[in-house]
Copies of this chain bind each other. A is one copy, B any other.
């Protein structure tokens, strides 16, 4: 099974071979490194940019206007905050120009905590991302979704912000991509060797068609006792807790992995809440002005009388940063035990 970084790499390879991607760039994105998480290793069109996030987004926007389908990387989402205005330009250009200019570009960037990243390798970005109106925002939690969403992001005529959960980039999923070779074979084919890489070239496996539609959530675990809406790093944790609860006979929890934050799949979310009457929104960004709070507000607006118990949020604590010392990080950022507790309370709340 591919890990998420490999899956993204394979999708980008498909992008440069078949979908018209001619520029894949960012800090350390090109050879020899191929990205700090190896997501751009071995690609033909990847190159190293100057250390300048504003220039990176600006270049992507210009390339999109020139008819390209660029894929630009910001090395960590923690370092995107000097270029929010540029992201806004990407997001609003189509609307500002009265529909005259489309902006087919992908900005990908690692997001979230879980790698002992301290204050500047642990940031989440959902709140700002979901306010860049005009921008589509996706965030996969499995390698297959990572592949499928990248294909759709590249094909999109809208700008797409592609959030890669840092903690999941090296994890493997349960689904195989069509035609995907086994783990060892894949490794030998597409992972760069240690040491000198100047003569190395990857051998790309032939994969079947696969994509994941932007705007469509996934029910990663069906259930009717309660609904958990999540994405990114928290998605596999929620899935794992739901499986254990089921195995232990403690309740069947429906886990919705949003996959797309904008435009989000309200149909899937509201259908599930209608069924269960109980809902918990889980993400790892801080709890003040959190995207999950928008979903709670909408739930209250539209489904107040479908709710059996009050809707809940599990999110990060509103400290000025995420601390390095592991017990501090685990305290600030939601962990498995927090999900267990929150789902437990949700199920136990008398209707």
Which residues of A does B touch, CB under 8 Å?
A: 54, 79, 81-86, 88, 91-92, 94-96, 119, 126-128, 130-131, 133-134, 262, 286-294, 296-297, 300-301, 304, 310-313, 318-321
Contact = CB atoms under 8 A, between A and B. Distances in A.
Nearest to A53: B85
Contacts of A128: 84, 127-128, 131
A263 B294 CA distance: 20
Nearest to A93: B320
A54 B95 CA distance: 27
Contacts of A313: 297, 301
A86 B84 CA distance: 12
* Top 6 closest pairs, chain A to chain B, by CB: A81-B85, A92-B320, A134-B320, A95-B320, A81-B84, A293-B293
B288 A290 contact: no
Contacts of A94: 320
A147 B87 CA distance: 35
23 contacts: A79-B85, A82-B82, A82-B85, A84-B128, A92-B119, A92-B320, A95-B319, A127-B127, A127-B128, A127-B289, A128-B131, A133-B286, A133-B318, A133-B319, A133-B320, A133-B321, A289-B293, A289-B294, A290-B294, A290-B297, A293-B296, A296-B296, A304-B310
A86 to B, nearest CB: 8
- Report how many copies the assembly holds: 2
A320 B320 CA distance: 28
A310 B320 contact: no
A287 to B, nearest CB: 8
Contacts of A291: 288-289
A300 B289 contact: no
A299 to B, nearest CB: 9
Contacts of A319: 95, 133
Most chain-B CB neighbours within 10 Å: which of A131, A311, A319?
Answer: A131
A291 B291 CA distance: 10
Contacts of A318: 133
A125 to B, nearest CB: 10
A296 B290 CA distance: 12
A294 B288 contact: yes
A130 to B, nearest CB: 5
A102 to B, nearest CB: 13
Nearest to A87: B81
B320 A288 contact: no
Contacts of A130: 288-289
A96 B78 CA distance: 15
Contacts of A133: 286, 288, 318-321
Given A82-B85, A296-B297, A301-B310, A131 B320 contact: no
Contacts of A301: 310, 312-313
A56 to B, nearest CB: 14
B119 A127 contact: no
A290 B296 CA distance: 12
Nearest to A321: B92
Most chain-B CB neighbours within 10 Å: which of A83, A85, A130, A304?
Answer: A85
